[in-house]
Amino acid sequence: MELSVVMPCLNEAETVATCVRKTIGFFEENGIDGEVVVADNGSTDGSQQLAREAGARVVPVIDKGYGNALMGGIAAARGKYVAMGDADDSYDFTTLGPFLDELRDGADLVMGNRFKGGIADGAMPPLHRYLGNPVLSYIGRLFFRSKIGDFHCGLRAFNKESIMRLGLQTGGMEFASEMVVKATLQGYDIREVPTTLSPDGRSRAPHLNTWRDGWRHLRFLLLYSPRWLFLIPGLVFMTLGLVAGIALSTGPVTVGEVAFDVDTLVGAGAALVIGFQAVLFALLTKVYAMQEGFLPHDARVQRIIDWWSLERGLLLGGLLAAAGLTGLVASLMHWQVNSFGELDPRHSLRMVVPAATAFVMSFQAIFASLFVSILGIRRRQHPPLTDPAAEAEGVVDAAVRKVAKGETEDASAEHADENGSGTGGEHGKVTAGKAAAKTSEDG
C-alpha cells in the first residue's frame, strides 16, 4: 500500500465522515492504493461507527492526547507513506497530491504551510495567526536552523519508516513541533507545500487550549535546545559579570551621572556565578541527551568531553579555590591591620567579593567534573566464561553419545529377550516334568 491517511479523532461526529469520504474520493480519482485510518481517542458521540460506514479503518488509542492518537494511528498504518490531518474538515484532503509527489521524489517529511497557502476568515484566531504560530515557528527556526515556516500545520505527510526511526515521545499538541525538530536534527529532507486552512465544521469549541498548548510547544523547543536554554544566556551573564567585576575591582566607575561601586560589584559576582553554572548545565544536558538519544551526536561536545577529564576538572577547581582562598586570606590580613574593627565596605568588598566568587566557582567546576564522569560510566556486558562454539560442540557430542548408548542398550535388551525366551522355555519344561514326577510319587 502506498498511502495511509491518519486522522486523530475525539468526538468528531459532525465532520469525520466527510473527511473520510473526501480522502477515499481522492484515492479513487488519482488511482492511489491507499487507506484512511481514524485513530479514535475515546469518542463517545458515535464517531467510530460513522467513520467505518464512510470507509475508514478505526484504530482505538487508549492513551489520551493529540500526539498519542497520532502515534497510534501511524503505527497501525499500512502504507509506505503517511499523511496526517485533523478530522474537523479544516483541511482539504483532496489536495494531498503535491505532498505525495514530494514523497515520491525522495522527501522524508512534507509540511503544509498555511501562511503561504492561505487562511480563510475565521479559520484561525487572531492571537494564533499573528502571535502564537509566527513566534513559535520563528523560535523553532532560530533554535534548530530549520527552514520550515509553519511548525504547527496539522496537514503533513512523511515516509513512515523515517518518522518511526525518530522515536517520537510527546503525547500532546507539542507532537507537531517534536516531529519537525527531530527530523531537522537528523538531517532529513524536509519540504513545504502551500496549504489552505478553512473554518472547521464543528459546532463545539476546539480541543486546542491557547495558553496551555502554546506553553507546551515553547517548553519543548527550549528543552531540546541546551544551546539557547543554558549556553547562550550563560555566556551573556558570564561576560557581563566578568567585565563589570574587572572594571569595579580597582574602584568605582562613573558613566555620565551614574556611579557604579561595590553594590554593582556584588551583582557582577552573582552574574558570573550564574553564567558559569548555566554553561556547565548546557554541557551536562548535552552529554546526557546525546547518550540517551534525545539529541544527535555532536562532535564539538565530544571533543570537549574527551579533553575535560575528571583530573583536569579537579585541577581547574583547585586553582579557582586557591585563588579564592588567597583573596579571603588577604581580606583577613586587611581586617587585622585595622585591629579587627569596623571596615569601609568600599575597600573590603573589593577583596571579599572576587574571592568568594572564585571559591563558589571552584566547587561548581569540581562537582560538574564529577557529574560528567558519572555520565561517562558505561554498562558493559562481560564476555561469557565459555566459548559458545566449544559449548555447542560439547552439547552435540553429548547427544551423539546418548544416542549411541541408547542403541547399545536396545541391542542388549533385544539379545537378552531372545536368549531368555529359549532358555526359559527349556527351563519351564524341566520344571514342569519334575513337578509331575513329584506329584506321582506323593500319590
Among 15-19, 214-218, 413-417, the range of highest mean pLDDT: 15-19
- Last residue within a domain, chosen from 321, 340, 375: 375
Say if residue 253 is in the same domain as residue 176. no
Q: Are residues 287 and 206 in the same domain?
A: no
Same domain? 285 vs 269: yes
pLDDT for position 337:
76
C-alpha cell at position 101: 509527489
Mean of per-residue pLDDT scores for the chain: 85
Residue 417: what pLDDT? 53
- Which pairing describes strands 57-60 and 34-40: parallel, antiparallel, or unpaired? parallel
Residue 91 lies in a domain: yes
Task: Identify which of 42, 89, 52, 84 has the alpha carbon closest to the alpha carbon of residue 202.
Answer: 89
348 and 359, same domain (yes or no) = yes
Domain count, the chain: 2
Provide the pLDDT for residue 306: 80
Handedness of CA 394, 397, 399, 405 (dihedral sign): negative
Residue 307 in domain: yes
pTM of the model: 0.74
DSSP for 15-35 reads THHHHHHHHHHHHHHHT--EE
169-212 residue pLDDT tens? 899 989 999 999 999 999 999 999 999 999 988 877 777 788 88
Quick one: pLDDT band at residue 384, thresholds 50, 70, 90?
A: low
Do 178 and 37 fall into the same domain? yes
Q: Is residue 298 part of a domain?
A: yes
Residues 193, 356: Cα–Cα separation, whole Å:
57
Nearest by Cα to 110 from 154, 161, 157 = 157
- The answer to whether residue 52 scores a pLDDT higher than 60 is yes
Residue 34 β-bridge partners: 3
Task: Judge whether 202 lies within some domain.
Answer: yes
In a domain, 418, yes or no: no
Range 43-72 average pLDDT: 95
Which residue among 223, 257, 284 closes a domain? 223
| Band of pLDDT at residue 302, cut at 50, 70 and 90 | confident
The answer to which of 73-77, 112-116, 273-277, 352-356 has the lowest mean pLDDT is 352-356
Mean local confidence (pLDDT), 418-433: 45
The CATH code of the domain that includes 200 is 3.90.550.10
Q: What is the DSSP letter of 94?
A: G
| 439 in a structural domain | no
- Residue 382: inside a domain, yes or no? no
In this structure, is residue 411 part of a structural domain? no
Paired sense of beta strands 109-113 and 156-159, if any: antiparallel
Host H or E run for residue 343: none
Residues 351 and 334: their CA atoms lie apart, in Å, by 9
Q: Which helix (H) or strand (E) holds 7?
A: strand 3-9
302, 158: one domain: no
51 or 213: which leads in pLDDT:
51
- Give the confidence band of 292 by pLDDT, cuts at 50, 70, 90: confident
| Domain span at 20 | 3-223
Largest CA distance in the chain: 154
Question: Which phi and psi angles does 180 have, rounded to 5°?
Answer: -70, -45
- Higher pLDDT: 296 or 198? It is 198
pLDDT at 390: 59
Q: How confident is the model at residue 436 (pLDDT cuts 50, 70, 90)?
A: very low
Residues 179 and 267 in one domain: no
Instruction: Inform me whether the pLDDT recorded for 288 exceeds 70.
Output: yes
Q: Are residues 251 and 350 in the same domain?
A: yes
> Are the beta carbons of 6 and 77 closer than 8 angstroms?
yes
pLDDT per residue as tens digits for the range 22-48 = 999 999 999 999 999 999 999 999 999
Please say if the pLDDT value at position 369 is more than 50: yes
User: Which pLDDT band holds residue 431 (cuts at 50, 70, 90)?
Assistant: very low
Does the structure show a pLDDT above 70 at 346?
yes
Do 148 and 160 sit in the same domain of this protein? yes
Looking at the structure, do residues 207 and 276 belong to the same domain, yes or no? no
| pLDDT confidence band for 150 (50 / 70 / 90) | very high
pLDDT value, residue 432: 41
